[in-house]
Amino acid sequence: MNAALDPRFAPYVPPASSLQLSFCGMHFASPIVLLSGCVGFGEEYTRVVGFSNRDTGAVCLKGTTGSARLGNRPHRVFETPMGMLNAIGLQNPGVDHVVQQILPTLDFQETRFIANVSGSTIEEYVEVTARFDDSPIDAMEINISCPNVKEGGVTFGNDPDMSARVVAACRQVTQKPLITKLSPNQTSIQENARRCIEAGTDAFAVINTLMGMAIDARTRTAVIGNRQGGLSGPAIKPIALLKVAQVYEVAKAHKVPIIGQGGITTATDAIEFLIAGASAVGIGTALFYDPLVCRKVNAGIAAYLAANGIATVSELTGTLSGLHGH
């Protein structure tokens, strides 16, 4: 293709003004949040021609623990029908390295950056939160729902009491916005959300991946080295939509916003999550096969708003017919 005709080389056009919103006091240029684990520490896609962090409202950095972690043994990623299994195991260089070496390289004029706080104990969550509190990071996502680590993670996220304890402990050491990442692998996501609101969360990310596995029939062994991993991608979208709507029923009275995520690949997908109750939408797995998907999603949402006479994207949140108040 002639470079002059290639859309990747076209002059940068910022997202439409109708897409701007305020999320926990942060200005988002668009409702799109790039999800943790899918863009490394914010630099993963900067070498892709045509990609720009300016197309996003925020970028969620890779899960970070107190000390460096090597992660799980391979295989760590496996493609499934309409999705992907991953069990990375929170490989990361540790919070001190992230704060001292990585954050100074990020352009905080482009977008908002959200740290992903992970740990195996409540004390570790507090340590990482306190370290990020003393940094330029805009907000923190508390990862209490990671399904592919042996300890912490999903153990905390599936127990409302433990979830609340983690949130309350992190709340004590920072005034920055806290976004609690909720697990779909639990009895009542609404009860968990209610407890986290009481404990001081400012927002939710709904949902994290579903637990799944893949088997090699030839060798009769699990394909993923960790045996189980987190399932993401379009296969989980119907579940994610339901969970967003359920959490919205609890969160709306407290004005606690939601990042809706799980299988979003198109503008229509994103619009459905907004209607279900999300204030912003997370994109992750889609980036692996279409790094420029954000620009398309932004354009599609803006066109939908214009066609339906809706002035701002925030007016779309929670407009599902049948929801209380609509």
Nearest Cα to Cα of residue 260 among 247, 237, 244, 275 = 244
Helical H runs in 65-188?
95-97, 122-133, 154-157, 160-171
pLDDT on residue 323: 59
- State the average pLDDT for the chain: 93
Question: Over the stretch 25-72, which tens digit does the pLDDT of each residue have?
Answer: 999 999 999 999 999 998 888 888 889 999 999 999 999 999 999 999
Question: Over the stretch 118-141, which tens digit does the pLDDT of each residue have?
Answer: 998 999 999 999 999 999 999 999
pLDDT on residue 326: 47
Q: Residue 40 region, left (φ>0) first, then alpha (ψ -120 to 50), else beta? A: left
pLDDT on residue 44: 84
pLDDT on residue 152: 54
Joined together, the tokens standing for residue 296 give: 């398309």
Does the structure show a pLDDT above 50 at 250?
Answer: yes
Q: Active site includes 38?
A: no
CATH number for the domain running over 7-316: 3.20.20.70
At residue 148 the predicted structure's pLDDT band, cuts being 50, 70 and 90, is: very low
Does the structure show a pLDDT above 80 at 144?
Answer: yes
Q: Where are the domains of the chain?
A: 7-316
Return d(Cα 270, Cα 286) in angstroms, integer.
Answer: 12
Which of 24, 60, 146, 170 is flagged as catalytic? 146
Return d(Cα 77, Cα 61) in angstroms, integer.
Answer: 19
- Mean pLDDT over 150-169 rounds to 79
pLDDT on residue 1: 54
Give the residue with greater pLDDT, 62 vs 323: 62
Does the structure show a pLDDT above 50 at 105?
Answer: yes
Secondary element (H or E) of residue 196? helix 189-199
pLDDT on residue 279: 98
pLDDT above 90 covers what percent of the chain?
84
Does the structure show a pLDDT above 60 at 287?
Answer: yes
Does the structure show a pLDDT above 70 at 290?
Answer: yes
At residue 5 the predicted structure's pLDDT band, cuts being 50, 70 and 90, is: low
Nearest Cα to Cα of residue 24 among 260, 256, 317 = 256
pLDDT on residue 173: 98
pLDDT on residue 155: 66
Question: Over the stretch 70-89, which tens digit does the pLDDT of each residue have?
Answer: 999 999 999 999 999 999 99
At residue 3 the predicted structure's pLDDT band, cuts being 50, 70 and 90, is: low
- Mean pLDDT over 3-7 rounds to 62
Nearest Cα to Cα of residue 280 among 308, 258, 265, 247 = 258
